[in-house]
Structure 1
Amino acid sequence: MDRELSSNTIKANKRKRLSQISAAIAVIAVAIFGFRSLITPSISRDEIRTAVVEKGQVLATLTATGVVVPEKEQVITSPIQARIEQVVRSSGEQVQPGDQILLLDRSFTQLAYDKLKDEQQLNQHKSVQMRLQLQKTLNSLESQLEIKHMNVRSLQARLDDEKYLLKIGGGTQEQVKQAELNLKIAQQEFSQLERDIASELALLKADEQELSYTLAMQGRSIEELKRKMEQAEVRAGSKGVVTWVKNEIGNSVNAGDVIARLADLSSFKVKASIADTYAEQLQVGNQASLRVNNTNLNGTIAAIEPTVTNGTITFYVVLPHEAHKLLRPNLRVDVQVITATKPNTLRVKNGPYFRSASGNQVFILREDEVVRVPATIGVSNTDFVELENGVNVGDEVVISSMKEHEHLKRMTLKK
């Protein structure tokens, strides 16, 4: 038969049931929390970099590569085909106007110069001979012309006599006609001789003009060779520094080959290049920022080359402080061409996220979560990115790459 349980036993059983129920509740809570952690993604705070949204200026820029070059550079070319005989100034040496840099062998040009001089003297002698010969011919023709003139006068007198004799009956008509014929022949010969003399004079003038042209051309060629021989003593045309010189003694150079470069290192400009896809955004007068050893220098685009070479466009940036102590020839610099300015706008520091993000969205930190929010990404440069909406001043935005998580709306932030 059943016996009634004692009050102590009843209390013990009640405590046991309560313990079992509490344990079951705890197990259920742990299971729920563990399942929630399994279905909610998380990310460690150490895996991300963040920046705080602030208000300020953002400059829209295009990134280009540049090299510092002297603003004024003199390129010296070889005036003649010659051999390098001596290098007087080396790269890096300062020169003054008239200082010799190179000496070229002038022997070949000297031979050509001497040959031209001889030919000129020969033509000058030929000119004298031609004048003497023509003078001799003219003297002979003039003597013949005088004789013909006297003959004409004699025949004219003979004709007058025959006409007088015919008038007084002492002559005949045939004698008068013969005298007239002889006079006409003599007059014709006289006129022909005058024309011959005129032709000889015209021929002399033409020959003299031709010879004078030849002598003038030879004179210019001689002067040019003389000047080239003087230029073979390659000298600086202005004050500067020798930035490059062809120093292979004994090597031959052709006329027009570059043999030295001379630069004025008191002023510089930057020769920059950028992909031709940005051609429409480049304009003369655009402001540009140059970064040299963590120092920013401001400049202006002064010229843009019209041709595209290997898919790139070349342009030149001039600097207001040309003689900046950080600038050196051939120094490579980063160039940021400013295409637009956004003053007093929401901005955040630039980072890898904005180079790989797809669509207008950002991730911000909210307490213990990383939340994706829509935001319009505006203009940018290497330092800042504009956020036109979707965030507020003070929001902490993820700027490290989120490419693997960009499809998620929120993540738990693990400390």
Structure 2
Amino acid sequence: MDRELSAATKQAHKRKRFWQIGVAIALVAAAIFGFRTLITPSIGRSEIRTATVEHGPVVATLTASGVVVPEHEQAITSPIQARIEQVVRTSGEEVEPGDQVLLLDRSFSQLTYDKLKDEQEMNQHKRVQLRLQLQKKLNALESQLAIKRMSVKSLQARLEDEQYLLKIGGGTQEQVKQAELNLRISQQELAQLERDIASERELLKADEQELGFTLAMQGRTIEELERKMQQAEVRATHRGVVTWVKNEIGSNVNAGDVIVRLADLSSFKIKAAVSDAFAEQLQTGGEATIRVNDTDLNGTIAAIEPTVTNGTVTFFVALHENAHKVLRPNLRVDVYVTTATKPNTLRVKNGPYFNSAHNNDRLFVVRGDELVQIPASTGASNTDFVEVEGSVQPGDEVVISSLEDYEHLKKIKLD
């Protein structure tokens, strides 16, 4: 038959039961904690970059690519149609005023020059011949005029005789009228001759002026061609460096073709280009910063080209220190055009995190051993700093490296 358990035995069974339940609870807690550890993402501190939020100015900029070019550059064009005969100076060589750079063959222009000289001499002979012909015609008309004047005088005397005879009864009225008619006809012919002579004199003057103009224009053309032929010995007009020269000996060039470029390397400017989508933000006189390696140079936008080429707008920046020692021709530089200025705002160093279009309304801040996502927004920015607003506070440590794989999470554990 069964016996009732003693109190000591019952107490031992109860302690054993409590111990089993405690172990089970501990195992369950450990399992839950371990599972949470497995499903909660983490990231190492060495894998992220952070920056501290602070007060300070933020200058919003527009980034463009640029190249250093000489501030003053001269393009020398071919004065005539010619063939390149000799290259005296090559690219990179320094030249002084008067130094020859190229020699052009002048044979074609010489033929044109000789032809113009011959035409001018022919026109000069033509001018003499015309003057002689017109003078001969004038002499004949003046001879006729002298004869006609004598005829008028004779007819005037005849009219007076007829009038006297009529008065003494020795003549008739018809004879007087006939004498008057003959005199008027002769006077009209005399007046016509005088007008013809005046017209011939004006014609002679006009023809001489026309030939004079032709000779003058030919003279100027010959002088200009002489000057251009002298310029066929292409020479530098000021001190500088040959940046480019057409060095293909034997090649033909037309009048007006650029054959040499000279640059004054004592001062420089920046030629920059930016997408036409930002064209409205460019203004003449606007401030710009030029970054050459680790050196920043200030300047202002001096000119903006009115045309768009291949989707880009070209503009030029005049530097305040246009002779700085870091400047070199054709050196690639970064150009930051100022579009807005925030003198005192919350800012943080710029980084890859802010380049994502999905990160405009939140930030990850360090909270102990976690990264916590908080609502925030960005404003003005440049390559150095970004303006931040929202729940962020001065002194907050903000992640500035890329977190593309964690954008959907509210918290991330730091290892």
Over aligned residues, Cα RMSD in angstroms?
Answer: 2.3
Structure 1 stretches lacking a partner, 5+ long:
none
**Does residue 382 in structure 1 map to residue 383 in structure 2?**
yes
AA at the equivalent of 1:163 = Q
Q: Which moved more, 1:96-105 or 1:265-274?
A: 96-105
Identity %: 74
Match of 1:168 in 2: 168
Which structure 2 residues correspond to residues 178-257 of structure 1 after superposition, within 5 A? Answer: 178-257=178-257
Provide TM-score, normalisation by structure 1: 0.92
Q: Distance in 2 between matches of 1:233 and 1:7?
A: 129
Which structure 2 residues correspond to residues 7-406 of structure 1 after superposition, within 5 A? Answer: 17=17, 20-356=20-356, 357-406=358-407
AA at the equivalent of 1:253 = V
AA at the equivalent of 1:392 = Q
**Does residue 412 in structure 1 map to residue 376 in structure 2?**
no
How far off its partner does 1:375 sit?
A: 1.5
How far off its partner does 1:17 sit?
A: 5.0
AA at the equivalent of 1:83 = R
AA at the equivalent of 1:68 = V
Q: Distance in 1 between matches of 2:32 and 2:308?
A: 65
Q: For 1:39-68, what per-residue CA distance to the aligned partner results, in whole angstroms no more than 9, with x for missing partners?
A: 433233233222222222221111111111
Structure 2 stretches lacking a partner, 5+ long:
none
AA at the equivalent of 1:275 = S
Question: Do the aligned residues in 1 keep the contact of 2:96 with 2:240 (CA within 8 Å)?
Answer: yes
How far off its partner does 1:69 sit?
A: 1.1
AA at the equivalent of 1:366 = R
Count of aligned residue pairs for this structure pair? 414
Question: Do the aligned residues in 1 keep the contact of 2:291 with 2:333 (CA within 8 Å)?
Answer: yes
How far off its partner does 1:343 sit?
A: 2.6
AA at the equivalent of 2:144 = Q
AA at the equivalent of 2:297 = L
Q: Distance in 1 between matches of 2:33 and 2:178?
A: 156
How far off its partner does 1:311 sit?
A: 2.1
AA at the equivalent of 1:303 = A
How far off its partner does 1:10 sit?
A: 8.0
How far off its partner does 1:87 sit?
A: 1.2
How far off its partner does 1:2 sit?
A: 5.7
AA at the equivalent of 1:398 = V
Q: Distance in 2 between matches of 1:209 and 1:259?
A: 41
How far off its partner does 1:22 sit?
A: 4.4
Question: Do the aligned residues in 1 keep the contact of 2:365 with 2:371 (CA within 8 Å)?
Answer: yes
SS at match of 1:306: strand
Q: Distance in 1 between matches of 2:251 and 2:234?
A: 16
How far off its partner does 1:372 sit?
A: 0.2
For the structure 1 residues 160 and 51, does the alpha-carbon distance in structure 2 shift closer, same or farther, using more than 3 Å as the test?
A: same
Q: Distance in 2 between matches of 1:311 and 1:241?
A: 33
Q: Distance in 2 between matches of 1:337 and 1:310?
A: 21
SS at match of 1:304: strand
SS at match of 2:306: coil
Provide TM-score, normalisation by structure 2: 0.92
For the structure 1 residues 178 and 347, does the alpha-carbon distance in structure 2 shift closer, same or farther, using more than 3 Å as the test?
A: closer
Question: Do the aligned residues in 1 keep the contact of 2:82 with 2:108 (CA within 8 Å)?
Answer: yes
Q: Distance in 2 between matches of 1:297 and 1:112?
A: 54
Q: For 1:193-243, what per-residue CA distance to the aligned partner results, in whole angstroms no more than 9, with x for missing partners?
A: 222211211211121121112112212211221222122222222221111
Q: Distance in 1 between matches of 2:380 and 2:94?
A: 46
SS at match of 1:271: strand
SS at match of 1:285: coil
Q: For 1:316-369, what per-residue CA distance to the aligned partner results, in whole angstroms no more than 9, with x for missing partners?
A: 111111011111122111111111222332221111111114331100111111
AA at the equivalent of 1:364 = V
Q: Which moved more, 1:209-218 or 1:337-346?
A: 337-346
